[in-house]
Amino acid sequence: MSTASRPYPIVQDLIESFAGWLKHRRELNELRQLDRSDFDRIANDLRIAPDDLEELVRHGHHSADELPKMLKQLGINEERLGQVQPLLLRDMERVCSLCEHKAQCDRDLADGTAAENYHGYCGNAATLESLDRTEVAPR
């Protein structure tokens, strides 16, 4: 729905933001109701450390939104990367989700300077540099 077709876009955006926040709080509450052995079993099934899983849930499902944008600015096809190296892409999402440099990354992505600057702060920098660009280049 475009802003022009919504009678009160600011109010609508606030309501949607609050609804998202509320949903996330419910998810956190469900997580807290699990006993530790169940939680550890879920983490094991996902092949992730329990502490990382807890942190990922706390950060929410938009915590790796920067990664697709970064890949695009670097000329890497995310879909192709997911086909040829799905576990690597999943780990890159985990690293991005747990990143403490979101503000810098978001600024660089918005400015179009991420490709020049990400080496200084991105936890995925070494992985991104090691990729075979011919395998993951846009087609």
> Residues 107-121: what's their mean pLDDT?
95
- The DSSP element (H or E) to which 112 belongs, if any, is none
Task: Name the percent of the chain lying above pLDDT 70.
Answer: 88
Helices (H) and strands (E) in the chain, counts: 10, 0
- As given in the structure block, the two tokens for residue 131 are 């990729």
- pLDDT tens, position by position, 123-139: 999 999 998 766 776 66
Quick one: pLDDT at residue 134? 67
pLDDT over threshold 80, residue 116: yes
- pLDDT tens, position by position, 23-57: 767 776 777 777 888 878 888 887 888 888 777 77
The alpha carbon torsion through 106, 108, 111, 113 (nearest 10 deg) reads -150
> What backbone torsions phi and psi does residue 118 show, to the nearest 5 degrees?
-60, -25
State the Cα–Cα distance between residues 106 and 81, nearest whole angstrom: 22
pTM, entire model? 0.66
